[in-house]
Structure 1
Amino acid sequence: MALVLVTGASTGLGLATATTLAADGHDVVLHARNAGRLDDASVLEQMYGVVYGDLSQHDETVQVAQQANAIGAFDAVIHNAGVMRSRDALAVNVVAPFVLTAVMSPPGRAIFLSSGMHLSGSPRRLAPDFSDPARTSYEDSKLFITAFALALARLRPQTRTHVVDPGWVPTRMGGPSAPDDLDEGHATQEWLATADEDAIDPPTGAYWYHRTTRAPHPAAADPGFQDAVVRALEAHTGLELTA
Structure 2
Amino acid sequence: MSRAFVTGSSDGIGARIADRLADHGFDVVRHARDERRAGQCRAAGVTDPFVTGDLASLAQTRALAAGLGQFDVVVHNAGWVSRAASRPVTVDGLEQTFQVNALAAYVLTALMPVPRRLVFVSSDSITGARIDLSDLQHERAWTADTAYADSKLAMTAIAFAVARRYPGALCNAVHPGWVSTKMSGDIAPLGLDAGADTAVWLATSTEPAALVTGTFFHERAPVTLNEQADDVAVQDALVARCAELTGVSLHQT
TM-score (norm 2): 0.87
| Percent of aligned pairs sharing the same letter | 38
Amino acid at match of 2:15: L
In the alignment, which residue of structure 1 is the partner of 2:98? 90
For structure 1, list consecutive stretches of 5 or more residues without a partner in the other structure. none
The answer (yes or no) to whether the contact 1:19–1:46 under 8 Å persists in 2 is no
The answer (yes or no) to whether the contact 2:138–2:147 under 8 Å persists in 1 is no
Deviation at 1:200, TM superposition (A): 3.3
In the alignment, which residue of structure 2 is the partner of 1:75? 72
> What is the distance in 2 between the residues matched to 1:133 and 1:61?
27
The answer (yes or no) to whether the contact 2:131–2:228 under 8 Å persists in 1 is yes
How many residues align? The count is 237
In the alignment, which residue of structure 2 is the partner of 1:144? 154
For structure 2, list consecutive stretches of 5 or more residues without a partner in the other structure. 89-95
Say which is worse superposed, 176-185 or 206-215, in terms of deviation. Answer: 176-185
Residues 5-154 of structure 1: pairs in structure 2 closer than 5 A: 5-38=5-38, 39-42=40-43, 45-47=46-48, 49-69=49-69, 73-85=70-82, 87=88, 88-124=96-132, 126-130=133-137, 132=139, 135=142, 137-154=147-164
> What is the distance in 2 between the residues matched to 1:26 and 1:114?
23
Residues 167-206 of structure 1: pairs in structure 2 closer than 5 A: 167-196=177-206, 198-201=207-210, 203-206=212-215
> What is the distance in 2 between the residues matched to 1:131 and 1:58?
19
In the alignment, which residue of structure 2 is the partner of 1:208? 217
CA RMSD of the aligned region, Å?
A: 2.0
> What is the distance in 2 between the residues matched to 1:141 and 1:3?
28
1:202–1:190 distance in 2 versus 1, CA, 3 Å: closer
> What is the distance in 1 between the residues matched to 2:43 and 2:51?
15
1:138–1:183 distance in 2 versus 1, CA, 3 Å: same
The answer (yes or no) to whether the contact 2:9–2:30 under 8 Å persists in 1 is yes
> What is the distance in 1 between the residues matched to 2:140 and 2:195?
28
Deviation at 1:194, TM superposition (A): 1.5
